[in-house]
Chain A
């Protein structure tokens, strides 16, 4: 696929990972007592601490992997070798050459058609000869 589009998608994916990891952590965090006099009562909120830490580790790994992928993609970008003016000049030259090639091609087609007529004429003569004798 197009390299630029791949890069853009990778950047968007990184941003998505940022958002989703923070979201996951804040939603599933267990309750913690802010004041030692007010202990935690319910235990049915969120996930236990160990599982959450494991998932946090996984998320961090994902983010770093995505960043590495982004870096590889950036390195594989082709360089800009020509300025826009040079490019337009190239395009004009190519357009002229294209026109010339089209003219030649059409001339060749005309000749081939004429030749085809001659050949069918010759074949017709032979067939007539054959039918006459």
Chain B
């Protein structure tokens, strides 16, 4: 059965692996019971143990296998490594022209560059003298180019990690900036809100004092009682943006303040949204 499945894995439409036959409803129910039994107590009940032993495979094999941590794994019939490493030149079957171990990449690349040109010159010479022997030079040039490309390929993992690091630094910076901006706007808004609340209490207190103070009869009465209305009207008028009607002294000052507060409040709310 294993061999048949190995053959099928390389065909274009492979059949599903034979494991699918194990997933019957009864087996799945058994799996659930086994799992719950394991959580409650270590020993399984006798009838469960009997039905478990009837299965040709351990019941926990119905769970998906854990991911492969190390080494090789096979996918669709081909091997994959868990660690992607660049194959060295010897593994690829090419001679390594630059010395082994840590090297000065720039110097080695320059040397290879010069030897490439030199070998081309020698190639042209051999073509003029003994064209039959050109293949030696051609191979040499090929080797040089392969070496150059290999040195460059060794840079790539380093470059990938560097790019990742830079991206993460950028993300960090943006997040910090955004947090700062948010905190500043919140602090501003809070101060404005407290100013508004103070204003409201002031108004309520002045309302209370006006209502409780002894009033002169007649027009002054009307005047007095209408002033708190005017005050509230003015603060609402400033909210809408209209100018207040001419009013003496302190009330004007309070209303101008409240108008400014309201305007700034509206802009803050817009910026948050």
Q: Which of B125-180 contact A (CB under 8 A)?
A: 127, 141, 145, 148-149, 152, 155-159, 161-162, 164-165, 168-169, 171-172, 175-176, 178-179
A94 in complex: contacting residue of B172, B190, B197, B269, CB < 8 Å: B172
Contacts of B152 in A (CB 8 A): 4, 7-8, 11
A43 within 8 Å of B by Cβ?
no
How does the 8 Å CB contact mask read for A54-97 relative to B, with 1 for contact and 0 for none?
00000000011001001100110101101010011011001101
Please judge, given known A-B contacts A80-B155, A112-B272, whether A94 and B168 are in contact too, CB under 8 Å: yes
Q: Give the shortest distance, in Å, between A73 (CB) and chain B (any CB).
A: 9
Contacts of B196 in A (CB 8 A): 122
B88 within 8 Å of A by Cβ?
no
B124 in complex: contacting residue of A22, A88, A101, A119, CB < 8 Å: A22
Q: Which of A33-52 contact B (CB under 8 A)?
A: none
B193 pairs with A118, CB closer than 8 A: yes
How many angstroms between the C-alpha atoms of A122 and B197 in the bound complex?
9
Please judge, given known A-B contacts A63-B120, A71-B113, A119-B269, whether A4 and B171 are in contact too, CB under 8 Å: no
How does the 8 Å CB contact mask read for A89-116 relative to B, with 1 for contact and 0 for none?
0110011011001101100110110011
Interface residues on B, range: 35 or more
Interface SS majority for chain B: helix
A119 in complex: contacting residue of B114, B172, B193, CB < 8 Å: B193
How does the 8 Å CB contact mask read for B245-273 relative to A, with 1 for contact and 0 for none?
00000000000000000100100110011
B183 within 8 Å of A by Cβ?
yes
Contacts of A22 in B (CB 8 A): 123-124, 127
Q: Give the shortest distance, in Å, between A32 (CB) and chain B (any CB).
A: 12
B175 pairs with A129, CB closer than 8 A: no
Q: Give the shortest distance, in Å, between B245 (CB) and chain A (any CB).
A: 14
How many residues on chain A are close to B (CB under 8 Å)? Answer: 48
A108 pairs with B179, CB closer than 8 A: yes
A101 pairs with B113, CB closer than 8 A: no
A108 pairs with B183, CB closer than 8 A: yes
A87 pairs with B236, CB closer than 8 A: no
Contacts of A11 in B (CB 8 A): 145, 148-149, 152
Please judge, given known A-B contacts A67-B117, A75-B106, whether A98 and B157 are in contact too, CB under 8 Å: no
B120 pairs with A112, CB closer than 8 A: no
Q: Which of B231-247 contact A (CB under 8 A)?
A: 232-233, 235-236, 239-240
How many angstroms between the C-alpha atoms of A7 and B168 in the bound complex?
27
User: Which 3 pairs between the two chains have the least Cβ-Cβ distance?
Assistant: A130-B236, A108-B182, A87-B161
List residues of chain B with CB under 8 Å of any chain A CB: 105-106, 109-110, 113-114, 116-117, 120, 123-124, 127, 141, 145, 148-149, 152, 155-159, 161-162, 164-165, 168-169, 171-172, 175-176, 178-179, 182-183, 185-186, 189-190, 193, 196-197, 229, 232-233, 235-236, 239-240, 262, 265, 268-269, 272-273
Please give 12 more A-B residue pairs, beta carbons under 8 A apart, in addition to A11-B148, A18-B141, A84-B161: A8-B149, A11-B149, A15-B141, A67-B114, A74-B106, A75-B106, A77-B155, A101-B179, A120-B269, A123-B265, A123-B269, A126-B236
List residues of chain A with CB under 8 Å of any chain B CB: 4, 7-8, 11, 14-15, 18, 22, 63-64, 67, 70-71, 74-75, 77, 79-80, 82, 84, 87-88, 90-91, 94-95, 97-98, 101-102, 104-105, 108-109, 111-112, 115-116, 118-120, 122-123, 126-127, 129-130, 133
